[in-house]
Structure 1
Amino acid sequence: MQEAIERVRRALLAAGHADTIAAFAEGTHTAQEAAASVGCSVAQIAKSIVFRAGDTPVLVIASGANRIDRAKVGAALGRKVERADPAWVAAVTGFSVGGVAPVGHRTAPLVLVDEDLLGLDPLWAAAGSPMHAFRTTAADLIGITGGQARDVKAV
């Protein structure tokens, strides 16, 4: 777990983002836990959801208040997108489900950012473990991931 956190730290610093990683004893495994731990709304949690398009990882960074519409993700990428099982997520990203960060992946993913995050500041994202998160903004997330803001919310 420490290696994953350090991978996130290195990726943040390499992208010119401040090291805002913090540990939370209460845990940040779910968006609700993360919001309670860091003291923000669930919507301000930038959760990282990994899908797969064949062998290619697809990372959707979504508001903790939203569910993701896989069809919208597929349409935005022009690819069929499927659920990814936890073992595949860990093997491809280097993170366990619950601690998947938006940066520091072993395999570079295609990235979409939930447009609902654009109006929220600050945001908190997982930092490689279910006990660590980092503070950021939507603009910084888009910049450090190369992601595209899209409507990915299920209605």
Structure 2
Amino acid sequence: MPLTDKQLEEFKSKLEEMKKDVLKRDKHRDESVDEDESRSLENHMGDAATAEYEHEKELTLKESDEELLDEINQALQRIENGTYGKCVDTGEEISYERLKAVPYAKRTIDAQRKYDKKKVLPDERVEAKREDPSDTIEQIQEEQDAAGR
């Protein structure tokens, strides 16, 4: 059953509120990173690893928020285009319950599962050839012998 105008307006308001929250969080994070960078000049060397970890964590969170913001903006655009609530892959209607849980959802649950299965790449580390450590040691010794050591 298609969404009513009232439901669309509710989702639009919810998405706009989510967008404000993400932007506010991002602004706060930027201010925090700036403060941390100025403090890092005064930090003891022992604190450098902690500061680096915190910086990397903030960058990861910022990247995650940027992806969320993109999803929210796409959903708002779908509302404007009249395609909100329809699966981008199948054209089927996305359930109201799913949209309540994830207002920026662009796929039905089944279509999302299929999409996620395609997206997951095999772990290359598992498939990679495992080298025998003794081979590596022999190679190092050969290289050292060739270098005249």
Give the alignment's TM-score, normalised by structure 1: 0.24
Larger relative strand fraction: 1
Give the alignment's TM-score, normalised by structure 2: 0.25
Larger relative helix fraction: 2
Relative contact order, higher structure (CA 8 A, sep 6+): 1
